[in-house]
Amino acid sequence: MCLIAVAWKTHPRYRLALIANRDEFHARQTLPAAADAGQVFGGLDLEKGGSWLLAAASGRLAAVTNVRAGRVPESAMRSRGFLTREFVTSGASVEDQLEQLATNAAEYGRFNLLLGSADALHYASNHPHYRHSRLPPGVHALSNGDLDAPWPKAELARQSLADWLTRPTSARGTPDVSSLFEALADRTPAADDALPDTGVGLELERFLSPPFIVGQDYGTRASTVLLIDDEQAVFCERRFGPGGTFEGETQLRFPVPPSNPM
């Protein structure tokens, strides 16, 4: 996952609303979002066995992005994709899981990690050093830098989600999420003077700057909208191939436990 915007406890209906794009090499084998034994929902990376975004009937969710820091390939012992499954299938609290992760965070590829339960949402990263924090209610954005870093595509995703949440129709019936997918599908490169400098050079920064990346070898593979209220989660995934061609859509619904009053 390379772009995430998440609204936490800012909406009358949804305690969490999340939109995200997963960017990856098209040759990397992947399974579409599906239910795993009826308890865990999301896609599967067949190369390493992990996932970029998972939600569970327990009310837990986890999402991970890599951290872009130059062109030197990573050589970590563990895949960051394992972090999502480790959490959603664990019985430990978010806080305990993050304290435990402190002991071996350096063994994973550079990561940004969001972990949520019915009552808390946390952020963690191991670059340049391990740290974690509990997120306050609000709308946050994350790409391949720090949480809420003002990258153009992160700001666009954050604003698109915030605007959608203000619409009265978002709180009634079956919500129309088409505008959220439209924001995730934006292929407009950012202006050069707004690009981050992550050590990969100007040409690659430009290529990676749109919310939706189009390439024959590498690009956006999946766009996801996840909505969680006090009764159910709605998990919508759209998948794409080389050149940004549409390859399919999955919609999953499953019950979740209610949150405790704040």
Domain ranges of the chain: 3-255
Mean pLDDT of 82-88: 95
Query: Which uninterrupted H or E stretch holds 251?
Result: strand 246-255
Note the pLDDT of residue 259: 85
Note the pLDDT of residue 261: 59
Residue 184's alpha-carbon distances to 78, 180, 181, 219, in angstroms, are 29, 6, 5, 13
Q: Which CATH architecture has domain 3-255?
A: 4-Layer Sandwich (3.60)
Query: Own/partner pairs for 46-52, CB < 8 Å, 24+ apart?
Result: 48/79, 48/81, 48/82, 49/79, 49/81, 49/82, 50/79, 50/80, 50/81, 50/82, 50/83, 50/84, 50/85, 51/81, 51/84, 51/85, 52/1, 52/20, 52/22, 52/81, 52/84, 52/222
Residue-wise pLDDT for 45-64, tens only, equals 999 999 999 999 999 999 99
Mean pLDDT of 15-29: 98
Note the pLDDT of residue 76: 84
Residue 60's alpha-carbon distances to 10, 20, 53, 90, 200, in angstroms, are 18, 17, 11, 9, 34
Among 56-60, 90-94, 98-102, 225-229, the minimum mean pLDDT is found in 90-94
Task: Round to whole Å and give the CA distance between 166 and 75.
Answer: 43
